[in-house]
Chain A
């Protein structure tokens, strides 16, 4: 979720006309040979943002980072940093540090020297460098491994060294390419909060690539979902989750049930979706105008679908089916309910009772219900 700032004012510079973005991509295209890695992309990122890039492998996330860090030149368009075109600025002159997806630790230097590498290139006095490196080691809990070489530590530890090395110089803009992927869950959570804390203190702008949507949800002020070098949706994590603008985003972030049908307008922004013969139409809303008869997708998250033995009295949407499968995930259970037309809908319930006292079991006839505001109607 968007990080609540200390003041009650919500941090949302992208909604403020007077705010100047720190990074501006203006119609940026990047081609490798005749392969288009980034396709006419425009994007504003604001100071103190924690901007997350999400997307399938090969969609161009690393390429965006590398263009910001200065390792790839744009083919078309411009990238502005603080209002200035950065294309003529070499990587070592940019106020940007990058954590590489491959870590790129110097194999001939110890962990300590790796972290100190960037500081030594600056005009920082020696004793301050020592203090700063020790601080970074403490932050990433690598104090015990300071003297080791990169090949003498584990994959997760290497990742932490790479993170420490990029954080050490406290740059204006930090690019983190999957910074926490190799860490265990607990360490990852702790590090996420450390990162947010660092940002709070230093006001650094973060651009972070992640495959972990939970991470994006936790740390990001905004999330960009990408596909094939294009931005599909850029919005706050909550907006991405609750109101995805297309099937791709809905499907990419979290678990979702997708029901296809034909729409019909029934109110100002209310629509009906008829999805199967002999089944009641689904009710939902869409802020955009949809012509009657358009093929649409009704998207509903499993946790918004309630499951019950009897038909609920005043639910806007109710569908009958049989329990096809139950996935027990500890804190929650996911029921896979088969509808008469063969489609399987997932419904999630939190396990407030012990396993033995579970309501439903395989082949039980059940009712699924949800309100008319729970789902969204998507046209793409």
Chain B
């Protein structure tokens, strides 16, 4: 093994170690600690000046109490389940909305595609927070949407959308749509048109050619897009707290409340560790499906 290769492999590993593994170990450690009225607000802290005895003392004080506590309060597992539910539904909606858009983009005349792509990415130029706030302006009782609906005479009374799960879904689908569109577009753009011609030549209608050829061949894009939406949505905090109501249960919100309102870092860390486990499982599944795909493409 030469040093050049070692270096090339080493850089991303050091990066992962510093930015992922070390913070995770810190959070894991806090989750095993107890709450305390001090700075930092937990105990024990590692005191190396006392040597080996200090280290032994430190480890003996770590326990799983916080995880056991999460089990006793149904709020937590309900929030997990509700987060999963919201993530699954909104991923499905994003897919249903995003796929036709990606398809339209991939089939658009060559000279339009750059512009269309630009329009998909354009929202990223403004702050995410501002965009979510503007949805409050749109969805509120006196918001644009209700004014427009009443002016058109479609409804007599303003609809209650803001501070409900519907508003959360709208916000999530709006925010994460580009992450769904881009990988699907990439897959559809690669698709060789002559395959569709071959399918038609062999007796397919346009529709059946779509189901038998286009859809299976855009599967990698669908999988990638779905994970890019699903994983961050599970832990989403800003959208449910700004657009959701008091009955919108999402684990990101709980996490934030534990950290800042309750200042209970150990319990918050335990919530975070569990959330990570929930997210890691799909990531592993994703990795494996990607690997299988890559193998098939070889």
Contacts and interface: CB of A to CB of B under 8 A. Distances in A.
B156 interface: no
A104 interface: yes
B197 A106 contact: no
Name the interface size band of chain B.
Answer: 20 to 34
Interface string A60-82: 00000000011100000000000
Contact of A104 (B197, B203, B216, B297): B197
Given A104-B197, A165-B202, 4 more contacts: A92-B201, A105-B198, A106-B195, A121-B203
Contact of B197 (A96, A100, A122, A149): A100
Nearest to A152: B298
Interface residues of A, number: 24
Interface class of chain A by DSSP: loop
A122 B203 contact: yes
Given A107-B217, A108-B217, A149 B296 contact: yes
Interface string B195-216: 1011111111100100011001
B195 A121 contact: no
Interface string B177-202: 00000000000000010110111111
Contact of B198 (A104, A149, A151, A169): A104
Contacts of A100: 194, 197-198
A33 interface: no
B201 A151 contact: no
A344 B192 CA distance: 48
B216 A91 contact: no
Nearest to A98: B201
Interface of B: 192, 194-195, 197-205, 208, 212-213, 216-217, 296-298
Nearest to A149: B296
5 contacts: A104-B192, A104-B198, A108-B217, A151-B297, A169-B202
Given A92-B205, A102-B194, A108 B216 contact: yes
Contacts of B199: 106, 117
A71 B202 contact: no
Contacts of A117: 199, 202, 212
B177 to A, nearest CB: 26
Given A108-B216, A149-B296, A92 B194 contact: no
Contact of B200 (A92, A149, A151): A92
A278 interface: no
Nearest to B194: A104
A104 B195 contact: yes
A72 to B, nearest CB: 10
A104 B198 CA distance: 6
A169 B198 CA distance: 13
Given A151-B297, A151-B298, A106 B213 contact: yes
A183 to B, nearest CB: 20
Of the candidates A102, A108, A165, A169, the one having the most CB atoms from chain B within 10 angstroms of its own CB is A108
A91 B203 CA distance: 8
A151 B296 CA distance: 8
Interface of A: 69-71, 90-92, 96-98, 100, 102, 104-108, 117-118, 121-122, 149, 151, 165, 169
A92 B197 contact: no
Contact of B204 (A92, A102, A107, A149): A92
Counting from the closest, the 7 A-B pairs by CB-CB distance are A121-B203, A118-B202, A104-B198, A104-B194, A91-B200, A108-B216, A92-B200
Contacts of A121: 202-204, 208
Of the candidates A92, A118, A169, the one having the most CB atoms from chain B within 10 angstroms of its own CB is A92
Nearest to B208: A121
A69 B201 contact: yes
Contacts of B192: 102, 104
A108 B219 CA distance: 10
A100 B197 CA distance: 9
B109 to A, nearest CB: 13
Contacts of A90: 200
Nearest to B198: A104
A91 B197 CA distance: 8
B201 A91 contact: yes
Contacts of B194: 100, 102, 104
A98 B213 CA distance: 18
Contacts of B200: 70, 90-92
Of the candidates A71, A104, A149, the one having the most CB atoms from chain B within 10 angstroms of its own CB is A104
Contacts of A118: 201-203
A305 to B, nearest CB: 46
Of the candidates B202, B204, B216, B296, the one having the most CB atoms from chain A within 10 angstroms of its own CB is B202
A90 B196 CA distance: 13
A92 B213 contact: no
Contacts of A105: 198
A118 B200 CA distance: 9
A71 B296 contact: no
Contacts of A151: 296-298
A27 B207 CA distance: 34
B202 to A, nearest CB: 3
Contacts of B198: 98, 100, 104-106
A100 B296 CA distance: 23
A262 B63 CA distance: 109
A165 B198 CA distance: 10
B197 A71 contact: yes
A226 B297 CA distance: 39
